[in-house]
Every structure is written in C-alpha cells, then in structure tokens.
Chain A
Amino acid sequence: MTVDFDAEQDDVRATLANLRGCDVSHHRAQQLRRRCHSVLQAEPSPMRSAWRTDQTSFRRFVLPALGAAWCLAYLAEMIRCAAAIYAHFGTQ
C-alpha cells in the first residue's frame, strides 16, 4: 500500500521517525527480565506437556476400558456358571 506525501507530510513523517526513544530504568528492566525468566522456566516444556497429555489420555480412556473389560469378563463368567448350574440340575 502506498500513501502519497506532499512535502509537508514528508516533514511530518520525518518528525515522527526521529522522535527519541524511551526506556525504563536499568534496575526495572533487569527486575522484569528476572520475573520473565522465572515464569518462562516454570512454564511446562513441550516434552512435559506431552507426558501430561499421555497421563490424561490414560486416565480418560485406558482405565475405563480396562474396567469395562473386567466387568464383561466377570459377567460372562457368571453367566457361564449359571448355565452350568442350570444344566446340572436340569438334567436330573
């Protein structure tokens, strides 16, 4: 995108570009730097995030699936026992 400037607007643009820079005090800059370092180091790394994701999926999916499989096996065994008892007394 281009914007046309006349001579006066060139002066305005130059004026804006040449405004002096500003900074916080050295002490405050270092203080903020240290705060940010501590937050950055406390943040979970991608590997730890992946491990946490694995743990979450284990809790959400694998554990319920194992529980459901155990319940199904127990139910099947009970049905098999009931059928055996019924067959034993049924033949007498």
Chain B
Amino acid sequence: MTPVDRDAERAIVAGLRAGDTGAFDKAYEAYRRRVFAFLLRMTRSRTLAEDLLDETWLRLVRHASKLFPDTRLGPWLFTVARNLYWSYRRDSLVEETSVPELLSLWPSRSPWPSPFDLAAAGELERRIERALASLSPHHREVLLLVGHEGLTPAEAAVVCGISPEALRQRLSRARAALAQTLRETPAVAAFKKGFAT
C-alpha cells in the first residue's frame, strides 16, 4: 500500500533537505490523507486530529534540513503523529477509558452521533469502526498501521518504539481482540454478504 516508491521517496527527501516546496507538495499529497485517517481513528475527534496533523507536518518542515538521505517518510510521519497522540493523551485530564463510564451515567447511552460516525455512511462500516474504537489504543494503533496503512511489521515496530517481536505479539493479540469484537456483531456476516453480492 506504499504510495511512493523508494527512488521517488529519496528524491522527495533530498528536495525537502534542500528546502524545495515542490518536494514538500509531493510528500503532502502522498501522505496527508493517510496520516489524517490514522490520527482520526486514534483520537476519534476531527478537531483534535486536524490539530495533530498540522503539528505533524510542521515538524516535518522544521526538521527537513536534518533528515537523513535514506529517511522513510511514511514511518517518520506516523512516528511523529503517534508520539503527538500519546503526548496529548498523557496531558489530557480526562482519560479515554473513563469516557464510557461517564456516558453510561446519561439516560441515553449515545445521545448524538460523533462527526466520525456521520462520516462513516454505511451501517457495516460504522460497526467496524466501532469495533476498532472499542479496542485499546495500543491494539488500535498496530492494527491501523499494519492492517490499514500497509506498513511492514518492522516499520510499525519502529513507529511504536518497540521490538519487532513485541509488535508481533501485540499485533496477534489485537487481531484476536478485533475478531472477537466483530464476532459479537453481525459485521463479518454482512461483510461476507456484501462481497458475495
């Protein structure tokens, strides 16, 4: 799923190191949507994801002259985005894990759909997104990086700052957790039905 081949990526990095805005535009077009989708699914907040996306790209241009010639842009950007997300989580006063408990105190469990829910038009996709959102952030991030963004497990391990072996175990647990969550919903059946028709 890598949108930029290795030679083109080297050329982009060389351009960025030289301060070339054309090279930046190529990187921006290739990776903006992917990084934003990752941040949106991690944060579940469009506003927050947009802010973190801004900071991710600004960090790239601020550090452009210090990039190594063989820097892999995808993993570099996902590493920055991920670190920004975890930094935000550490700094935030309300932990994400406490939100379901707070919501359960309301008379209606889900009084309004989030912007992300509205964006996910189909019922099937909404269920899948919900299953993904119900996982822990650690599981969610490895599934998104490897399963959706197409990073290799080695690249994802670098992004997450863990060893490849630890990532393999985390990925296995995350897949099992997602499969279990989907088994509890009719999503897989509907997905198969959707492919059959």
Contact = CB atoms under 8 A, between A and B. Distances in A.
Interface of A: 1, 3, 8-9, 11-17, 19-24, 28-29, 32-33, 35-37, 39-41, 43-46, 49
Interface string B20-52: 010011001000111011001100000000100
A69 B150 CA distance: 63
A12 B21 contact: no
A19 B58 contact: no
Interface of B: 1, 16-19, 21, 24-25, 28, 32-34, 36-37, 40-41, 50, 53-54, 57-58, 60-62, 64-65, 119-120, 125, 128-129, 132, 143-144, 147-148, 150, 153-154, 164, 168, 171-172, 175, 178-179, 182-183, 187-188, 191-192
B129 A19 contact: yes
**Consensus secondary structure, chain B interface:** helix
Contacts, number: 109
B129 to A, nearest CB: 7
Given A11-B192, A24-B32, A37-B24, A43 B61 contact: yes
A1 B164 contact: yes
Contacts of B171: 3
B36 to A, nearest CB: 6
A8 B188 contact: yes
Given A3-B168, A3-B171, A39-B58, 4 more contacts: A23-B36, A36-B60, A36-B61, A43-B61
**Consensus secondary structure, chain A interface:** helix
Given A1-B164, A16-B147, A19-B128, A40 B64 contact: yes
Given A3-B172, A32-B57, A46-B17, A20 B148 contact: no
Contact of B37 (A3, A22, A33, A45): A22
Nearest to B128: A15
Given A24-B53, A28-B50, A33-B28, A9 B179 contact: yes
Contacts of B36: 22-24
